[in-house]
Amino acid sequence: MSWDGTVVNDPAADPRTDVFEEHRPLLTGVAYRMLGRVADAEDVVQEAWLRWSAKDRSGVLEPRAFLVRITTRLAVDRLRQIGARRESYPGPWLPEPVPTGDLGAPGGTVPDTAERAVLTDTVSLAVLVVLEALSPAERAVFVLREAFGFPYAEIAAALDRSEAAVRQLAGRARRHVEDGRPRYDVDPVRCREVTERFLAAAGGGDLGELLVLLAPDATLVGDSGGKSKAPLRVIAGADKVGRFLVGAAGRPPVDMEFRPVVVNGVPSILVLSAGMPDSVLQLGVVDERIACVYILRNPDKLGALKDLPPSGNRPVPMLV
């Protein structure tokens, strides 16, 4: 079965389909972390399937390594192609938010607690934003090594480089990510509590409460792609962020719903208008104060969340 659900071959008659499907979660995880967009990741995985299905696999001893090699090279090529598109993007660019949990454990297995923590960390919006500053090769090395723990020898084969060169790329990428990676609190209970207080304050026009919640150097990053209302520049400083939020909240339409969800490993709020995704709100929390507010409003990036069910049982306060 292809990515879009159409039957390509009968799995019972063609074991190559079973092999590919076994490794699809891993390939999806690699492609998404490199590209930050579901459609691009889907295209890469579909192309990997086409190449795999047409390949004489009699000499392929390790299908997993072979498929990762194809996917990585395709993702590097795609990343180079979309570079100019990112540069001309109207306003800040944020990765496409996706439900966490199906973004690839090694070999398609269900990750244990430690593995899941690593996978979640490398798929967070904050880390994916930092990865945007890496070269395509550095990004590929970081994803394969840090997210999935691939040996340097396998990464070198995937990128057609020497192992020594790959180690140098890994060192540069790791240093850059460590320097730029925000240390946000990922405790789901604490994040949800702060999010609920934030929504109540913003919706109620309570600037004083917002200033209590916001760190002094808080920032707000909005991504609309020029297709919805959102700031075209990063807003910096608690007072400016708070005033923007109070002014933007206003009184919401009666058909607007605020649904708690988990995307990219972090408790977030999916805003629905007339039952359709309108935006995603995610907070970067440090020591129970909000260091960054992410607002994604580009409708092209919300498709994966259309049928996402609520997470948890606690209600989210409506903006009034």
Question: What is the overall mean pLDDT for the chain?
Answer: 83
Dihedral sign computed on CA atoms, order 139, 144, 147, 153? negative
Do the beta carbons of residue 276 and residue 306 sit within 8 Å?
A: yes
Query: What is the arithmetic mean of pLDDT over 246-264?
Result: 78
How far is it, in rounded angstroms, from Cα 76 to Cα 96? Answer: 18
Beta strand 256-263 with 235-236: parallel, antiparallel or unpaired?
unpaired
Place of tokens 């707000």: 220
> 162 has which bridge partners?
none
Residue 184 pLDDT more than 50? Answer: yes
Using DSSP bridges, classify how beta strands 289-296 and 214-223 pair: parallel, antiparallel or unpaired. parallel
Q: What is the mean pLDDT of residues 299-307?
A: 85
Q: Give the integer Cα–Cα distance in Å for 128 and 266.
A: 13
pLDDT of residue 111: 45
Q: What percent of the chain has pLDDT over 70?
A: 83
Half-sphere exposure of residue 242: CA atoms within 13 angstroms, side-chain side: 21
CB-based burial label for 189 (10 Å; 0-12, 13-18, 19+): exposed
**Domains of the chain in sequence order:** 15-180 (1.20.140), 188-305 (3.10.450.50)
CA distance 16 to 34: 25
Mind listing the pLDDT tens digit for each residue in 114-144? Answer: 445 555 678 888 899 999 999 999 999 999 9
pLDDT digits (tens, 9 = 90+) for 45-91: 999 999 988 877 777 778 899 999 999 999 999 998 887 777 788 99
Q: Which residue do the tokens 């990428």 mark?
A: 173
Residue from 214, 206, 207 nearest 237 by CA:
214
CB 140 within 8 A of CB 75: yes
